[in-house]
């Protein structure tokens, strides 16, 4: 198992746990995710962060930006300015028997969690065993 945490966020990954091998958490919440859900979330967050980085140089000092991206089963929203941002995420059930959840990380926890998530999900399953 690999765990990382900081003020207002935590992440864990253990592919040996089935069906929920990943965990994401905030100050007062946590949810277990399947490997598929976690991988899709990491990809969505990476794309949101990349879009923000591409736009950051075009923002005026006080200008706010909202970026939304939907990639099944996730919807994500990055809100902030050129210096800091928050994340709101919704796991939408694909079928009626699945669970749904809405979570958020405020700045600066969102930025730290996003950076740690990319590192955590880049580690191969072989390295975790």
Per-residue pLDDT of the chain (129 residues; tens, 9 = 90+): 889 999 999 999 998 899 999 999 999 999 999 989 999 999 999 999 999 999 999 999 889 999 999 999 999 999 999 999 999 999 998 877 788 999 999 999 999 999 999 887 776 444 544
Distance in angstroms (rounded) separating the CA atoms of residues 50 and 126 = 28
Q: How far is CA 60 from CA 57, 104, 115, in A?
A: 8, 25, 24
Q: Which pTM was predicted?
A: 0.89
Instruction: List all residues 6 or more positions away from 118 whose beta carbon is below 8 Å from its beta carbon.
Output: 42, 45, 46
Sheet of 101-105, strand order: 65-71, 74-80, 85-91, 101-105
Distance in angstroms (rounded) separating the CA atoms of residues 106 and 119 = 20
């Amino acid at each position: 198992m690999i765990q990382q945490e900081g003020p207002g966020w935590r992440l864990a990954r253990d592919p040996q746990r089935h069906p929920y091998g990943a965990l994401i958490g905030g100050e007062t919440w946590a949810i277990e995710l399947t490997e598929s859900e976690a991988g899709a979330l990491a990809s969505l967050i990476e794309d949101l962060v990349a879009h923000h980085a591409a736009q950051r140089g075009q923002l005026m000092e006080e200008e706010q930006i909202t970026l939304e991206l939907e990639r099944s089963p996730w919807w994500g929203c990055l809100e902030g300015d050129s210096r800091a941002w928050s994340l709101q995420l919704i796991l939408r059930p694909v079928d009626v028997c699945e669970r749904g959840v809405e979570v958020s990380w405020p700045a600066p926890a969102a930025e730290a969690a996003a950076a740690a998530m990319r590192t955590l999900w880049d580690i191969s399953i072989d390295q975790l065993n």
